[in-house]
Structure 1
Amino acid sequence: MKSRLGENPKETDVQKLINLGADGVYFMDNLGEAYVEITEKNVRRSLKVNSKAYKLFLHQRFYNATGKPVSLEALKQAAYHFESIATFDGKVRKLSRRVALAKDGRIVYDLADSQSGAVIIGPNGCRAYKNGPGIFHRTTNTAPQVWPDFDEEHDLLKLLSKHFRTQLKKDLFLLAVYIVSCFIPEMPHPLLVLAGEKGAAKSTSMRMIRAIVDPARTDLLSMPNSTDNLGIILSNNYMPGFDNLDHLSPERSDLLCMAATGGSIAKRRLYTDDEEVILQLKRCVMLNGINIVVTRSDLLDRSIVIEFKRIPPSERKDEGEVWDAFRKDLPQILGSCLLLLSKAMAIFPQVELAEKPRMADFARWGYAIAEAMGKPGQLFLRAYNENQQCASQEILHNNPVAAALLKLMEDRREWESSPTALYTALQDVCMRNAIRISGRNWPESPNALTRRMNNLRSNLEQAGLFFESRKTGDRKIIITNEHYKPVSSLSLKKRRRGKMNP
C-alpha cells in the first residue's frame, strides 16, 4: 500500500521527514547556530533547526501527508540531519532581533505580524511592506507590532506628553530622543532607568515604551537570580524591561554594562560537557524602581535616568481607559518615530561633536534626532549632560564611601595617608555625621576601600575630588579637592560670631 507521499512504503519515518523538509533553506547564523527559513502561505520566517517550533512544523507536515503522528525520536534524527546540512552546506546569514541593518545602510524594522511585515527606513523616507526579508529571529516572547501611520507627520513630543508624566519637561524631550534612537541597530544604547515614588506609573510607562519599540507577550520581566538566566533574557529580548528593582548585584551590573555597549557571553549547551552557546548582547535595557537602582558608576555612565511624577487621585484613570487611549495613538507614535529617524539619517553624517561624552555614538545620533525634531542639537547634549550629572550626584549622596569622602574633604585641599589611615578617618566621619557604614555598600577593609573608590572615580571627579594610589615604598593614597576655596582668618572669626552666613 502506498503512503500519501507517493513513496516507497518501506521508507522510514525519518526519511519521510527529510523529504518533507527538503524545501527549507538551511543556513548558519553569525554565532554558529543552525537555522532554516520556511515559507507558509507566502510568509517567510526563520527558525532554529533544533527548536520546538521547527519540530512542530515538521510534525504537522508529516501528519497532513500521512494521516498519522510521528515519534519524537524520528523528529530528533531528522533535525540532526538538517543541522548537518546547515553546518556544512549552508551559508552564513546574520540574524537580528526586531531591528537590522541592511547591506545598503538602510534600517529594517520587523513588525513580526502574521504577514511578516517590515519597514525599511532610509534617509529618503520610510516604506512598510508585507513579507519582509528572513533576517530576523523571533522568540516566543516576540509580539506583533501595529502598522505605522505615515499619512502625515505628527508632533512626537505632543503625542508622548499625553501618556508620559515626567518630572521635568526636558526629560520628556530626552525620553523622545532615546525612544527614536532605539530603532537604530548595532549601536550602544544607554540603559533607561525610570524612577519615582509609588503611584508614578513607572511600570505602565515602561510597558508603553516597549510597546512602541519592541512589543512582547510578556513586557515586564523580573530580574533573574542567576547571571546565566539574565544572559538568556538579554539575548532573547531586544528591549527587555526589568520591573520594580531595589538593588543590582555587581555581577548583574557588569552584565547590563555589556548589554548596553555590546559583547558576548558563552554558556554551556544543555546536556553537553564542552559545547558552548554564544549569546550576543547589544540591547536597549530598561529598569525601574522607587529609588535609582543603579549604584555603580560604570553602569550609571551608561544610563539615562528619567523621574516620573506621582499621579494625583483626581487624575487617575482605569487601566483599560489608559491603554485604549495609548493604542489609539500608537500607529501615529510609531510612524512619527520612524519618520524622525529617516530625517536623522540624512543629518547624521554631518554631525561632529567637539566633546564626546560616554556613549558617544548615542550622543551623536541624539544630536541628529533632536535636529530632525526641529530642536537644536546642543539642547539635547545639554539635557543629556545634565541628566548624567544629576544621576552622579544621586550616587555621591547615597553611597556611604562617596558621602564620607566629600565630608572629609569639604574643608581640605589635600589628603595624604595610608589606605588604613584613610579607612579609619572615613569611619570616624561616618560616626560623626550619622552615615550608615553597615551593609553591602561599605567596604570591609582598607584594600576594599580603594576598589570602591576606583568604582566611584568618575563621579568623584565630577564633584572635584581626584585621587591616586602610590605604591612606591609604603602605599599612599593622595586625594586632591579642586573645589576647595581657602577662607581667610577674618572670615572664619566672623563665621564663628554668627555675623556671616557659612
Structure 2
Amino acid sequence: MTDDDKTPAREIITEYAQSHFRYFRTADGTVYAQRNGHPVARPIRSQGTTGSHRQELMVGLYRDGLGVFNGTALKEALDLIEALALTEDVQQVHIRVAPGFDGATWLDLGRADGQSVRIHPSGWEVTVPDPREVCWRRTQLTGELPVPVKDTDGKGIDALLRLCNFATAETECLALAWLIGCLEPSVPVPAPFLTGPQGAGKSTGGRMLVRVIEGMSGDLRRAPKDEENLIAAVAAGWVTALDNLSHMSPDLSDAMCCIVTGAENVKRALFTDGDVFRARYRRPLLLTGIDVGVIRPDLAERLLPLRLERPRVRRTEAELWAEYAEVLPVVLGSLLDLTVQVRGVKAETPTDLRMADFAHLCAQLDAATGLGALAAYRRSLDDLNDDVIEGDLLAQTVLKHAAEMEPGEAQRMTSTQWLHCLTRLYTGEDFRPLPKGWPTTGKVLSDRLKRLQPTLAARGVLIDSGRTKEGRYLEMTRTPAEPPAEQQAL
C-alpha cells in the first residue's frame, strides 16, 4: 500500500471520536464531549487532573487496537471536531445538582458508573440519567456520595441532628430546610452561618452538613484573599464552605451576596486580546465563625444563623467520623424522603421576605411536617436586624430620631438637612466626636440610608426618596406600632 492509499491519522481519530462520543456546545461556546450512554461530559480543551477528553480519546484508540497517534494528528482532529460541534444544539452542563424533565431534579452521586438520583414529587430513584436530559461536569471538588438507603423512616435525620449539636429545635429545622434547598437548582438559599461558643463544634457541624451533599471529601476552606479566587472556587463545586471567619470586608460581603443570589463574572480570556470568558454562578454557601463583626444589611438578608452548643461528652475525631460515614447513606436517604414529601405539598409564598423562594420552601416544610420553619426563619432575620443595628451608629441614630415622631408621621428634608439633623442628634449637647465612617456629605448619607432601608423598615421606619421642583429629598416615616397582619397570624 502506498502512502497515498493510507487514511490520514486525523481522519481515523475523527471517525472514531464521532462514533464513540457525542459532542455539543454550551451557551458560552465551550465544546464538551460525552461518551455514548454516559452522563458525564468533559470540555475537549481541558487538561484537568480529573481526566481530559484528549486522554480518554488516546486510551480508547489504543485499547481498540487503532494505534498510538502523535500530538499533531490529535490536535487537527480535535480542531475539526470542535468546529463541527459549534453547529450543534446548545445544552447546559451541571455540577452536582441539575433540573430534569417533568419537574424532576437530579443529584450526581459522583460515581464512575454515572449513577445519579432522580428526585420527583412522586418519589426518588437511583438510575443513570439520559445524557440528553442531564450532562454532569466533574471537577476535583466533585466527591463521591454513597448510594442512599430506601425506606429509612427518618432515622437518618435523627442521626444527623444528634451528631451536629444544634442548640435549639428551631436551628435544626432551619438546617433541614437549607439541605433541602441545596437539592433544588432553581432555589437560591441563604447562607447558614454556624456560630456558638469556642468548642461548640462549628467546623465539625459545618463539615457534616456539607458532606451530606458533597460526600466525605467535602471540606471547609479559608476565605480566599481576592474575589477572583473565590469565584473560581465557587464555580468548580456546588456547596462552598468558608471556615472560621473573624472579619468580613465590604468586598467579601458583596461577593457573598452575589454567590447566594447569583451573578456573572466576565474577564479577558487567557492568551487573547479581545475574547472574554464568562462565568455564571449561584451556589449554596456555608460559613462558620464565632463573630464576624459588623454585618452589612444586604448580606444579613441572605444569612441563616445556626447556633451550636458545646457537647457534653467529647469524642475522638476518628470515632465521630467513622460513625458519620456509616450513617451517611441513611442520612442521604432520609433527606431525599423528606425532600419528596416537601415538594409534594402546596403552600403560599410569603411576599414580605427577601429570599422568597427559601421562605416558600420553609412554608412547604411546615405544611409537610409542622416543624415551624417559617416562623423560625422570621425570628432569625429579626435577630440579624438587631445585629446590623448594634453595629451601625447611623441606624441607631435614625431610630432614636424616629422614636420622637408620632406613629404615621412623615418628615421630608434634603439629604444635607438630614445629615445636619442626625449629626446634631448624635453629638448631643456635649459635642462628642463623630465616629469613623460617619457620613460626610448628603450624598453619602443618602447612599447609606438606601442600604439600611430593609433593616429600618423591619423596625417601623420607612425611608423614601424623590424629587420636587426644589430638588431631591429624603422622607422618613414612622409606621404604626402594631405588627403586620401576616405576623399576627403567626
TM bracket, shorter-chain basis: 0.7 to 0.9
Quick one: distance in 2 between partners of 1:296 and 1:243? 19
Q: Which amino acid aligns with 2:361?
A: W
2:475 is aligned with 1:453: no
- State the partner residue of 2:46: 51
- State the partner residue of 1:405: 398
Quick one: distance in 2 between partners of 1:274 and 1:435? 55
- Contact 1:207 1:219 (C-alpha < 8 Å) held by counterparts: yes
TM-aligned CA deviation for residue 47 of structure 1: 0.5
Q: Which amino acid aligns with 1:127?
A: E
User: In structure 2, do the counterparts of structure 1 residues 328 and 357 end up closer, same or farther at CA, with 3 Å as the change threshold?
Assistant: same
- State the partner residue of 2:207: 207
Q: Secondary structure at the residue paired with 2:86?
A: helix
Quick one: distance in 2 between partners of 1:268 and 1:26? 25
Give CA deviations for 1:278-316 in whole Å, capped at 9, x if unaligned: 32223212222222568232332233221222x26x533
- Contact 1:178 1:366 (C-alpha < 8 Å) held by counterparts: no
Identify which of 29, 38, 43 aligns with 1:32. Answer: 29
- State the partner residue of 2:179: 179
Q: Which amino acid aligns with 2:205?
A: S
- Contact 2:211 2:218 (C-alpha < 8 Å) held by counterparts: no
Counterparts of residues 363-378 of structure 1 (less than 5 Å): 363-372=359-368, 374-375=369-370
Give CA deviations for 1:310-360 in whole Å, capped at 9, x if unaligned: x26x5332222221122222111110111111122221xx32246453222
User: In structure 2, do the counterparts of structure 1 residues 191 and 34 end up closer, same or farther at CA, with 3 Å as the change threshold?
Assistant: same
Q: Secondary structure at the residue paired with 1:197?
A: coil
- Contact 2:347 2:367 (C-alpha < 8 Å) held by counterparts: no
Computed over aligned residues only, the root mean square deviation of the Cα atoms, in angstroms, reads 3.3
- State the partner residue of 1:500: none
TM-aligned CA deviation for residue 37 of structure 1: 0.3
TM-aligned CA deviation for residue 211 of structure 1: 0.7
Quick one: distance in 2 between partners of 1:58 and 1:438? 64
User: In structure 2, do the counterparts of structure 1 residues 160 and 101 end up closer, same or farther at CA, with 3 Å as the change threshold?
Assistant: same
Q: Which amino acid aligns with 1:46?
A: A
User: In structure 2, do the counterparts of structure 1 residues 449 and 104 end up closer, same or farther at CA, with 3 Å as the change threshold?
Assistant: same
Identify which of 441, 451, 476 aligns with 1:479. Answer: 476
Identify which of 348, 351, 373 aligns with 1:352. Answer: 348
Aligned residues: 469
- State the partner residue of 2:84: 85
- Contact 2:294 2:391 (C-alpha < 8 Å) held by counterparts: no
- Contact 1:468 1:479 (C-alpha < 8 Å) held by counterparts: yes
User: In structure 2, do the counterparts of structure 1 residues 180 and 475 end up closer, same or farther at CA, with 3 Å as the change threshold?
Assistant: closer
Quick one: distance in 2 between partners of 1:261 and 1:131? 28
Sequence identity (%)? 25
Counterparts of residues 375-386 of structure 1 (less than 5 Å): 375=370, 379-386=372-379
Deviates more, 1:60-69 or 1:182-191: 60-69
TM-aligned CA deviation for residue 68 of structure 1: 5.4
- State the partner residue of 1:118: 116
- Contact 1:363 1:381 (C-alpha < 8 Å) held by counterparts: yes
Structure 1 length as normaliser, TM-score? 0.83
Give CA deviations for 1:180-224 in whole Å, capped at 9, x if unaligned: 221112222222222233322222222211111233745223333
Structure 2 length as normaliser, TM-score? 0.84
Give CA deviations for 1:3-59 in whole Å, capped at 9, x if unaligned: xxxx989666544543442321101124432111025xx755210111111122234
Counterparts of residues 206-245 of structure 1 (less than 5 Å): 206-215=206-215, 217=217, 219-245=219-245
- State the partner residue of 2:487: none
- State the partner residue of 1:420: 416
Q: Secondary structure at the residue paired with 1:108?
A: strand
Give CA deviations for 1:350-391 in whole Å, capped at 9, x if unaligned: 32246453222222222223333x316xx2221111111111
Deviates more, 1:451-460 or 1:228-237: 228-237
- Contact 1:265 1:279 (C-alpha < 8 Å) held by counterparts: yes
Quick one: distance in 1 between partners of 2:194 and 2:344? 31
Quick one: distance in 1 between partners of 2:139 and 2:167? 35
Q: Secondary structure at the residue paired with 1:84?
A: helix
- Contact 2:294 2:387 (C-alpha < 8 Å) held by counterparts: no
TM-aligned CA deviation for residue 471 of structure 1: 4.0
User: In structure 2, do the counterparts of structure 1 residues 434 and 383 end up closer, same or farther at CA, with 3 Å as the change threshold?
Assistant: farther
Counterparts of residues 6-405 of structure 1 (less than 5 Å): 14-22=10-18, 23-38=20-35, 44-52=39-47, 53-61=52-60, 64=63, 65=65, 70-71=70-71, 74-88=73-87, 90-130=88-128, 133=131, 134-155=134-155, 157-215=157-215, 217=217, 219-292=219-292, 295-309=295-309, 311=310, 315-347=313-345, 350-353=346-349, 355=351, 357-372=353-368, 374-375=369-370, 379-405=372-398
- Contact 2:245 2:289 (C-alpha < 8 Å) held by counterparts: yes
Deviates more, 1:20-29 or 1:418-427: 418-427
- State the partner residue of 1:491: none
User: In structure 2, do the counterparts of structure 1 residues 11 and 357 end up closer, same or farther at CA, with 3 Å as the change threshold?
Assistant: same
- Contact 1:157 1:173 (C-alpha < 8 Å) held by counterparts: no
- Contact 2:156 2:333 (C-alpha < 8 Å) held by counterparts: no
Quick one: distance in 2 between partners of 1:338 and 1:442? 49
Structure 1: segments with no counterpart, 5+ residues: 486-502
Q: Which amino acid aligns with 2:356?
A: A
Q: Which amino acid aligns with 1:450?
A: S
- Contact 1:411 1:484 (C-alpha < 8 Å) held by counterparts: no
Q: Which amino acid aligns with 1:262?
A: G
TM-aligned CA deviation for residue 131 of structure 1: 6.9
